[in-house]
Amino acid sequence: MPSRDLLLKTLQFLILSSLLLGASAITALAHLERQGSHMTVVGDIHGWPYESINSVGEPRGLLPDIWHLWEKHSGIEVNYIQMPFEQALKALRNGTADAFSGLVDDQARDAGLTPGPAILTVPTSIFFESNMYGITDINDLTGFRIGVVRNSAAEHHLRERYPTLQLALYNNTGEIIAAALAGDLRVFLSEVPSTTSLLSRHKSQHKPTFRHSRPVFTQHLKIQTLNADLTADIITAGFAEIPPQELSRVQSEWRGAIITHSSVFTPWVLGFSAFCLLTAIVVFFT
């Protein structure tokens, strides 16, 4: 059994290492700010609903807005560039870019990237035609062809835990949606944010409609770098400077909110209704 002195020395070493690592990241962050350096961030031009481009070709979406916050609070200029996914990975690997704007866990794992701070929780659920009943979890899918994106976390999840289920493999979520709307696929397992966004673009009285179950599992949308080096530490230090309420505000803006009646308006309506009712009673009995 290790001696008490050895344990204490090990603990001291770990604490000192953590402090030095944090200090080096903060020092590098301050140095970059003083030198007027910038951080080049690449994003997926087809990464909707997390990012897209507006009518004049500028980045738009949750990820660009979060990186604007990083720029504001770190003091380091962000050069935000969008391009097709494979080109963005190439830019990261050849050193043209410092970070990928944000990827879910399985995409980052397949690309060999190092995860950074988590931005958003991304649930994956069962999607099924609205006229189907009795589907609450994976155990209810026996006998169905289940659509999944090839090599995705959904495919890995089903093959590892439910190897007897029949899977239908597609290259991307768009292909799954097209097959489902054509009536060729009644059930599929997919990320909720991107899938609901794509389905909303294709609403029609002549096409099937879909709903989804509670989450089967969740992943995280994270900032990604190529190596666990000082760049990753600088990015993490920059995000630590963002006040939580500002980050939450940006996330809420892109999630949307339920529209409700104003708390001032509602009592006014109730009061006016009561006045009309009393007036009617008086008129009726006089």
Instruction: Dump pLDDT digits (tens) for 159-216.
Output: 999 999 999 999 989 899 999 999 999 999 999 988 988 888 776 667 889 999 999 9
Is the pLDDT score of 148 beyond 50? yes
Report yes or no: 101 and 44 within 8 Å, Cβ to Cβ. Answer: yes
pLDDT of the residue at 183: 92
Within a domain: 20 = yes
Helices (DSSP H) in 121-221: which residue ranges?
Answer: 153-161, 173-181, 192-200
Within a domain: 280 = no
For Cα atoms 37, 43, 44, give the angle at the middle one, nearest 5 degrees.
165
Write the CATH number for 102. 3.40.190.10
Structural domain count, the chain: 2
- Phi, psi for residue 235 in degrees, rounded to 5: -60, -45
- Which residue among 175, 191, 219 closes a domain? 219
Shared domain check, 51 and 146: no
Shared domain check, 201 and 76: no
Rounded distance, CA 187 to CA 137, Å? Answer: 12
Task: Return the number of other C-beta atoms located less than 10 Å from residue 235's C-beta.
Answer: 25
Shared domain check, 131 and 79: no
Shared domain check, 42 and 113: yes
Give the domain extent around 231: 4-118+222-255
Within a domain: 260 = no
Within a domain: 282 = no
Shared domain check, 108 and 12: yes
pLDDT of the residue at 85: 87
Shared domain check, 210 and 88: no
